[in-house]
Amino acid sequence: MAWANATDDVKTYEFVIEDNAAASSADLELRIVLCWHDPPSSLFASSSLLLNDLDLVVESADGEIFYPNFGDASGDHVNNVERVILTNVTPGATYTATVSVSSLVEAQPFALVAAGPFVKTAALFPSLAKDCAWVSSYAPARCAVKGEDDTWAYSSCPRACDSCKDTACQGDSTSWYIGSTPSRDCGWVADAAGNRCPKKADDGIYAFEACPFACQTCSHDGCEDSSTWAKSDEPGRDCAWVAMAKSNRCTVVGADGTYAYESCKASCAACYEAISGTECANSVTWHKRDNPSKHCDWVSAFVPTRCVVKGHDGEWAFEQCPVACDTC
């Protein structure tokens, strides 16, 4: 459970028994074991063969002391494995294990192992503390890890991953793509950012690094998402949810009656001039799938409903008809 290096200092570990621990005696048992590999000793050593002699004691919240190996206050100076077994521990109570040194010839690594109905904390299990500091120590690889809240580290740990949204977008890479498939580029990433932004190309560059706009790790002036829009009857599905799969979600209707592309402009890339840097204009080639006569002029006659029509090229009307759909 815990690894440490014994020096002259005292190390303490707190075990908080779960409030809802079962009432059976077996479930209310706390076992704590200290063990270490002692350095080799001389054949002519005294009765105590330990060179590095560590001691374990456990104290309850009311001050009762428990000694290892069913011993007493004199301690165990023979074994390099010391165990304390507590029965009928109190739910909600704290038990403190202390590892101290009786004698030491050199720094001594040790392990402290525990079993029982105690709360598993990051202090006891450092591996649980896989937070943004942990991400930053091995970025960008750890930026592609998903958290318990279902968000990617590059999104929730922007400083660690150099992905702050207040950074001005300079455009997505035009040369980055996955494997030997050029079509799996930043445009492909943008269609399903929730799954594709953590992808890594053969050159070792992640999509969230090469495709900052597709992955929403930068911003364009005048191109922002609504902070209040959410899918109708599902308040948790907001613009961030839309961005995870914009190819399908930008046409979803929100609780306020607007389409996602209207309220989640950054997530849906529905800001023609801010993104392209050129004057807004409708496409002269786009038309509804299987119907060449239904082009951007046809779209403009019934906005916003026709803006969520998909074209022959797989693009939505709101993407290719920005003047008609007011997505300039």
Domain boundaries, the chain: 2-128, 132-210, 230-325
The letter for the amino acid at 36 is: W
Residue 324 has pLDDT above 90, yes or no: yes
Q: Reduced to 3 states, what is the DSSP secondary structure of residue 301? A: coil
Average pLDDT over residues 266-279: 86
Q: What is the pLDDT of residue 166?
A: 74
Least reliable range by pLDDT among 121-130, 232-241, 309-318 = 121-130
Average pLDDT over residues 265-269: 90
| Residue bearing the bigger pLDDT, 2 or 242 | 242
| Residue bearing the bigger pLDDT, 277 or 229 | 229
The letter for the amino acid at 10 is: V
Give dist(CA 58, CA 53) in Å, integer.
Answer: 17
**CATH fold label, 2-128:** Jelly Rolls (2.60.120)
1 confidence band (pLDDT: 50, 70, 90)? low
Phi-psi region of 268 (alpha: psi -120 to 50; beta: other; left: phi over 0): alpha
Q: What is the pLDDT of residue 137?
A: 87
Average pLDDT over residues 269-281: 86
**Cα angle at 177 between 175 and 183, to 5 degrees?**
100
Write the CB contacts of 299 (distance below 8 Å, at least 6 apart in sequence).
Answer: 306, 307, 309, 317, 321, 324, 325
Q: What is the pLDDT of residue 26?
A: 56
Residue 125 has pLDDT above 90, yes or no: no
Q: What is the pLDDT of residue 229?
A: 96
Give dist(CA 139, CA 134) in Å, integer.
Answer: 9
Contact at 8 Å (CB) between 164 and 158? yes
Alpha helix segments (H runs only) across the chain: 132-136, 153-156, 158-161, 186-191, 193-196, 207-210, 239-243, 246-249, 260-263, 272-276, 296-300, 317-320, 322-325
Q: Give backbone dihedrals phi and psi of 53, rounded to 5 degrees, phi first.
A: -105, 105
Q: What is the pLDDT of residue 64?
A: 93
Q: CA dihedral in degrees (310, 313, 318, 324; nearest 10)? A: -100
Least reliable range by pLDDT among 16-30, 85-99, 184-198, 307-321 = 16-30
Q: What is the pLDDT of residue 3?
A: 56
Residue 323 has pLDDT above 80, yes or no: yes
CA dihedral sign, ordered 238, 240, 245, 249:
positive
Residue 136 has pLDDT above 80, yes or no: yes
Q: What is the pLDDT of residue 79?
A: 92
Give dist(CA 79, CA 70) in Å, integer.
Answer: 13
Q: Say which residue the tokens 């993104």 belong to.
A: 275
Average pLDDT over residues 238-261: 92
| Residue bearing the bigger pLDDT, 70 or 63 | 63
Q: Which of 167, 153, 171, 182 is nearest to 211 (CA)?
A: 171
Q: What is the pLDDT of residue 299?
A: 96
Residue 121 has pLDDT above 90, yes or no: no
Residue 59 has pLDDT above 70, yes or no: yes
Q: What is the pLDDT of residue 7?
A: 66
Radius of gyration of the chain (CA): 31
